[in-house]
Structure 1
Amino acid sequence: MAPSLPTFTPEQRAASLQKAAETRAKRAEFTARLRTGETSGAAGLDEALGDPVLAKMRLTSFLRALPGWGKISIENFLEATGIADNRRLGGLGTRQLDEVKSAISS
């Protein structure tokens, strides 16, 4: 028998929905700043690594928000560096972070 899902009270459900909405809004605001160039890629990466909400963002979403990075350039970068396309910013190793920093600063 499969484990059942937890039952939430209406207050717990509302709190979870509110937290999810705040998380989405924060990520949307962050990617908008990257797209407009208000925040540079290197500064954005440092900001994301210091924030637990932004650290859960996928690397591909982060790169896609940067000017000059499209689907093909992201695929080529991931293939060349050996980074999986489902990696999150907070889950990158030091070597991988160095490669990302080098790529976004050039």
Structure 2
Amino acid sequence: MALPQLTDTDRTEALARALAVRRERSEVRSRLKDGRVTLAEVLGSEGDMIGRIRVRQLLESLPGVGTARAAQALAELHIADNRRVQGLGTRQREQLLERFPS
């Protein structure tokens, strides 16, 4: 399937939207790291932007959780390493909140 031909304006707009979304995700992870929001608040919030964050990145943003602890938690909870927040089931969300209480 051929990619659509984008005009320079379309390409510029798409790049700007992508940059804005990346900044929003970064801001969410930063607020989580600083303790301004809890994991429960992030998992409970609706929105496409939050849903596209990888669970591993979200866990690594928690204070006191690094790559090893996040990987161990994902393995023990049987959550794929590349799973995104929007792909989590109800039980998986509950297990994450039990594992990482606010």
Short-chain TM bin: over 0.9
Bigger helix fraction: 1
The letter for the 2-side match of 1:105 is P
Runs of 4+ off more than 2 Å: none
Q: Identity over the aligned pairs, expressed in percent?
A: 33
TM-score by length of 2: 0.92
Looking at structure 1, the residues matched to 39 and 92 of structure 2 have their Cα atoms a distance apart, in angstroms, of: 15
TM-score by length of 1: 0.89
> What stretches of structure 2 of length at least 5 have no aligned partner?
none
Looking at structure 1, the residues matched to 26 and 67 of structure 2 have their Cα atoms a distance apart, in angstroms, of: 19
User: What's 1:26 paired with?
Assistant: 24
User: What's 1:46 paired with?
Assistant: 44
Looking at structure 1, the residues matched to 4 and 89 of structure 2 have their Cα atoms a distance apart, in angstroms, of: 34
Question: CA offset at residue 68 of structure 1?
Answer: 1.3
Question: CA offset at residue 4 of structure 1?
Answer: 2.7
Looking at structure 1, the residues matched to 80 and 101 of structure 2 have their Cα atoms a distance apart, in angstroms, of: 21
User: What's 2:8 paired with?
Assistant: 10
User: What's 1:85 paired with?
Assistant: 81
What's the secondary structure of 1:69's corresponding residue? coil
Number of matched pairs: 102
Looking at structure 1, the residues matched to 89 and 70 of structure 2 have their Cα atoms a distance apart, in angstroms, of: 18
Q: Contact 2:31–2:37 (CA<8 Å) still a contact in 1? A: yes
